[in-house]
Amino acid sequence: MTSVGSRSLGERKLPPYIPLLFPAVAFMVLMYIWPFVSSVLQSFLVGKGQPSLANYVKVWELYRKDIVFTFGITLFNTALTGVVAVIFSVYFRIRQNRISALLSAIFKLPIFIPFVVVSQMMNSFLAPHGLLNTALAQLGIVNLEKPLQLFNFAGLSFGFAWKQIPFAVLIIHGGFQMIDNSYIEAARSVGAKMPSIILRVLVPMNKSSIIVALVLVYSQIIGTFTLPYMLIGGKVPTTITVDIAHRVNYFRDFGVANALGVCSYIMVLFTAAYYLRSKIREARQEVSG
């Protein structure tokens, strides 16, 4: 739906898209760009606005363990999500029976449930006296005296996996759906068995969806506040997002909070660049194609 904006000959008339775009653009500039830029700038200021690296020094002193923790948990869960999601997506692509249809339907649920609710779910489910421990105790897997302590890396990962794997499957499976059966049959006709077909035909042909899913999962996990806040809260180690909240709520220290924020920006720099580039390329293709 593209046509050139109308313009009278010789006269300077305002192109029609200007008033249409102005409110949205203005809003974004005021409510997003300005605070975004401010966050970066402020991280380099102290006191009454003197440039300094003091904030970053403080971050290094107080929060470097948490930065490592955040990065670690993000990488781990992105990788875990990627592998599990690919396996499930391949499964859904290859097997189409009642069981896989049911599984596919169950998988949709976590996607629709808001993160706040998920956090509360995990809070109750993973608690030392929560349903998971109770069930495991009934099965004899867990000692009544020593239930699993899950409000840490493990529990957080469970929560992330619970929400992100179905989401990744949605994207990756969509990509697999677009691969025509004939490519799989051609591989079988030259003697390939399932593992070869998955690794050498299906996954390479679906590379773009898999990368998009991983990028989205990665940046979502790094930016998540709700889940770590409810599960781990102030315990050490915790995520950068929780630290930022603490810095603001207890110390009103926006300098260090922003320094932490900039650290998280740096962590997503590559994925953000990839995401922006591919979405813009996609949008450009739609215009010309």
Which residues ranging from 227 to 286 are in contact with other proteins (CB under 8 A)?
230, 241, 244-245, 248, 254, 257-258, 260-262, 264-265, 268, 271-272, 275-276, 279-280, 283-284, 286
Binds other proteins by CB under 8 A, chosen from 7, 35, 68, 96: 35
Binding to other proteins by residue 33, rule CB under 8 A?
yes
Binds other proteins by CB under 8 A, chosen from 79, 116, 154, 199: 116
Binding to other proteins by residue 90, rule CB under 8 A?
no
Binding to other proteins by residue 178, rule CB under 8 A?
no
DSSP string, 229-253: HHHTTTSSS--HHHHHHHHHHHH--
Binds other proteins by CB under 8 A, chosen from 141, 183, 199, 236: 183
Answer whether the bond into residue 237 is a cis peptide, omega within 30°: yes
∠ at Cα 80 (205, 72), nearest 5°?
125
Binding part of the chain for other proteins, among 51-59, 75-83, 126-134, 149-157 by CB under 8 A, reads: 126-134
Binding to other proteins by residue 113, rule CB under 8 A?
yes
Binding part of the chain for other proteins, among 46-54, 75-83, 148-156, 162-170 by CB under 8 A, reads: 162-170
Q: How many residues form the binding site for other proteins (CB under 8 A)?
A: 117
DSSP string, 157-188: HHHHHHHHHHHHHHHHHHHHHTS-HHHHHHHH
Contact, 260 vs 240, CB < 8 A?
Answer: yes
Three-class SS state of 50 = strand
Binding to other proteins by residue 287, rule CB under 8 A?
yes
Contact, 189 vs 261, CB < 8 A?
Answer: no
Report the interhelical angle of 254-267 vs 207-223 (nearest 10°): 170
Binding to other proteins by residue 125, rule CB under 8 A?
yes
What distance in Å separates the CA atoms of residue 156 and residue 158, rounded to the nearest whole number?
Answer: 5
The site map against other proteins for 46-85 (x = CB under 8 A) is ----------------------------------------
